[in-house]
Amino acid sequence: WLRNHRTKGYDIALQDDNNILYLYSDSGKLYWKKQLNERIIGKISQVDLYKNKRLQMAFRTKNKFIILDRNGNLVEPFDIKIDGDENSQPLAVFDYDNNRNYRFLLSQRKNLIMLDRKGKKVKGFKYIKTKQPLKFPPKHIKIKGKDFIVLQLQDEDIKILNRRGEIAVNINSKIQTSDNPIRQYLNTFTTSDNKGNLVQIDTKGNIIKTPEGWSKNHLLEMTTKTLVSISENILTIKGIPVRLPYGNYTRPTIFHIKNELFISVTDRDAQKVYLFSSNGNPIGGFPIYGIEGVDIVANKDDDSLDLIVQSESNGFIIYRIN
């Protein structure tokens, strides 16, 4: 879902196997389609470059950093060539003070480039070369009013920087991390290791490990106060376990809508989408049919929610949750 600044509702963006990008209305009407040379890596971010409440679509492919306007037109100068490879990470968009003075951080093999909202290099950013490619996209985390940029490298090294790209937190030992990126949770930098432990790093570099008994392939998602995990067929929401049928599950997704939290997970094998409240109770009418992860937004006209999910290799479904 992408916010539509004209209707105050949402539109649908998707890309097909031929790298064509489509924009649909929330009722499935096609607005436009645009041929791209490569697959979009990660999600599309929305930005307000001109600070006039008109939103643009920012994303990267392996070798391009692109921003399109509402009509699918390129926004100059954002058709920028970058040197990507098979390890290229999604575009990272930082808005440190929520004032739309964006910083765009891009990985180029073992190099990092930071651009401002005019597409110019940020000269004051010092950390421009890494010893290893990134394992996950750079992440901006704010703890107690201080800004940090987290880099996770493929050799398990973790760099926690300040805005200027200087080391802000010294970590004395490497962590054999799982396939879960670092997020902010309870004022710590939080992830897990490959032994099923919750791993938290404080702003002084101290590492705290808490045994959780998660399986090797467990997946985590979190907000600053909510931790959700799935290990084998056990979905745990804020410490509340929910037993699901055995399956091949996506990473849980947390949606914060109208002061409520909703947690979704999809069983790819059974093609079922599950949705729960923050207390672990299933939402009525679920599971529903779907083959991948979902996106959910509030409907602008009433108290319902709109959910979109891929239905087949060439289709999608919009559900309304009343």
CB contact at 8 A, 200 and 189: yes
Q: Please say if the pLDDT value at position 95 is more than 90.
A: yes
Sign of CA dihedral 223, 265, 151, 64: negative
Average pLDDT across the chain, whole number: 95
Q: Please say if the pLDDT value at position 167 is more than 90.
A: yes
152: its two tokens:
């996770």
38: its two tokens:
């490569």
Burial class (CB in 10 A: 0-12, 13-18, 19+), 45: buried
Q: What is the pLDDT of residues 173-190, one digit of tens each?
A: 888 889 999 999 999 999
Q: Quick one: which of 98, 41, 96, 44 has its CA closest to 67?
A: 44
CB contact at 8 A, 100 and 47: yes
Q: What is the pLDDT of residue 48?
A: 98
Q: Quick one: which of 64, 67, 107 has its CA closest to 88?
A: 107
Q: Please say if the pLDDT value at position 313 is more than 90.
A: no
Cα–Cα distances (Å) from 199 to 29, 192, 212, 277, in that order, read: 45, 5, 10, 25
3-state helix, strand, coil in the chain (%, to 5): 0, 50, 50
Share of the chain above pLDDT 90, in %: 86
Q: What is the pLDDT of residue 156?
A: 84
